[in-house]
Structure 1
Amino acid sequence: MTNVFTKPISNRKPKIVLTEDDYARLSRLADAATERMPEVADYLATELDRAKIVPSSRIPSKLVTMGTTLTFRDEQTGRTERVTLVFPEEANIAEKRISVMTPIGAALIGLSEGQSISWPTRTGEIHRLEVLSVEEAR
């Protein structure tokens, strides 16, 4: 029986959009990480393959791109986080700067405000997150 107060969890992935610049750099990053971090590199490559690519000058509003600060909610735990999505060399967990080369970072790239996605944690659990708000990239 379905509880009317909870949203059903869909396994279908939402449509995502990437800028040409992000796509090019992230493709190189995923290729380079294949040996060191095969699971995350493969997940990121899969996300890149299904993305719609747009010119960097035509970024849709409220889109998670590299350098974007966003707020998301983990639908399993109810936890809300405000983070900035960055390249690995800029990551700093104490400053809430998460790398795109983490499972959650790879799941966030290309989402828009209001979208949800299921993502695998490093322990193999599947969580679902919803992007609550997106601020302009720095």
Structure 2
Amino acid sequence: MKPIISHQDYKTIYSLIQDMPSSQRTKEMGQLQQELDSAARVEESEIAESIIRLNSYFEVKDQASGKTLQLRLVLPKQANLAEQKLSILSPLGVALIGFGEGMVVDWVLPGGPKKLEIIKVVNTPLEAKV
């Protein structure tokens, strides 16, 4: 299963990683770089509305626990879990970018290996995002 990333998101995330001082680079950044490298890169207009990308709202379910999370995937400076805004550099953000509704993603998170089912994805037009 290969993630799908828009050229615009690829450039934004790649620049974020490259601009990060090496002293601040994390394991997740390396994993994100691998995801970017393996991703199918397409034009924004070619990505289905059901694919998680930057600024997507999504609902994901841990298949083992049944716990459901509703979050928005954002750049690190916008991240705020109290507002349900998840950084692209977080383990969960790295795991889910580029995947879509109905998919089950296997990923090792800090709490251990997880099977995460993407229940719903909502992408709003850029001008509607605050």
TM-score for both structures, normalised by structure 1: 0.83
The question of 1:112 aligning with 2:100 is answered yes
The question of 1:69 aligning with 2:60 is answered no
Corresponding residue for 2:6?
19
Structure 2's unaligned 5+ residue stretches are none
Amino acid at match of 2:7: E
Larger Rg: 1
Aligned mates of 2:30, 2:82 — CA distance in 1? 27
Q: Counting helix residues as a fraction of each chain, which structure ranks higher?
A: 2
Per-residue deviation at 1:50? 1.1
Corresponding residue for 1:121?
109
TM-score for both structures, normalised by structure 2: 0.88
Corresponding residue for 1:4?
none
Runs ≥4 in structure 1, deviation > 3 angstroms? 32-35
Aligned mates of 1:132, 1:22 — CA distance in 2? 22
Aligned mates of 2:99, 2:10 — CA distance in 1? 14
Per-residue deviation at 1:126? 1.2
CA RMSD of aligned residues (A): 1.4
Q: Secondary structure in 2 aligned to 1:107?
A: helix
Amino acid at match of 1:135: V
Amino acid at match of 1:19: S
Q: Secondary structure in 1 aligned to 2:69?
A: strand
* Matched residues, number: 124
The question of 1:32 aligning with 2:32 is answered no
